[in-house]
């Protein structure tokens, strides 16, 4: 596949799976490989479906907007922002491992930066690196002591 085709596959995966909750695209676009954020998972596809389902349960209006995308050969890198309203329970694996295992709905809105580096071979994602600004999300949910949701969203300090 060309770099342009790989970029389109990534865009389609975000639009269909994350933004609309249609997990069929995961079966079509994810192959056997490794998610470096969760390398112990036996199935990247099943893990990704679990994460998307948990995100959409916690943030029913979940939306990813890709701001920048760079593709070269098998690799696609993108910077995106996740937005949504925390109207459902937020559960692991979306939370830090040493933190709480469940956070009840707060009603707060989030705007969280993400970075993805994705390797695609023969039309399937086979390698994923992902970084999410979890501290900002927790601050926007009002869960960091001494940092309100408004401070987290603007970057202001108390």
Residue 144 per-residue DSSP state: B
Cis ω before 2 (30° cut-off from 0): no
Cis ω before 93 (30° cut-off from 0): yes
| pLDDT 10s digits, 95-147 | 666 666 788 999 999 999 999 999 999 999 999 999 999 889 888 998 887 65
Token pair belonging to 5: 């085709």
Token pair belonging to 132: 């999410």
The tally of CA atoms less than 13 A away on the side-chain side of residue 74 is 10
Q: Give the global pTM.
A: 0.84
| pLDDT 10s digits, 57-73 | 999 999 999 999 999 99
Q: Which CATH architecture has domain 3-154?
A: Roll (3.10)
Give the domain ranges of the chain: 3-154
Distance CA 88, CA 74 (A): 36
């Amino acid at each position: 596949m060309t770099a342009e085709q790989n970029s389109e596959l990534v865009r389609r995966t975000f639009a269909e799976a994350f933004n609309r909750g249609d997990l069929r695209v995961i079966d079509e676009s994810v192959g056997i490989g490794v998610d470096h954020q969760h390398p112990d998972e036996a199935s990247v596809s099943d893990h990704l479906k679990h994460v998307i389902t948990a995100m959409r349960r916690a943030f029913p209006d979940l939306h990813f907007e890709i701001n920048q995308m760079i593709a070269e050969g098998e690799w696609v890198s993108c910077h995106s922002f996740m937005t949504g309203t925390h109207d459902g329970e937020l559960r692991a694996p979306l939370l830090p491992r040493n933190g709480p295992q469940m956070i009840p709905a707060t009603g707060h809105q989030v705007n969280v930066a993400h970075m993805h580096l994705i390797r695609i071979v023969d039309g399937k994602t086979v390698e994923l690196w992902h970084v999410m600004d979890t501290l900002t999300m927790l601050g926007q949910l009002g869960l960091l002591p001494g940092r309100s949701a408004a401070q987290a969203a603007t970057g202001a300090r108390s």
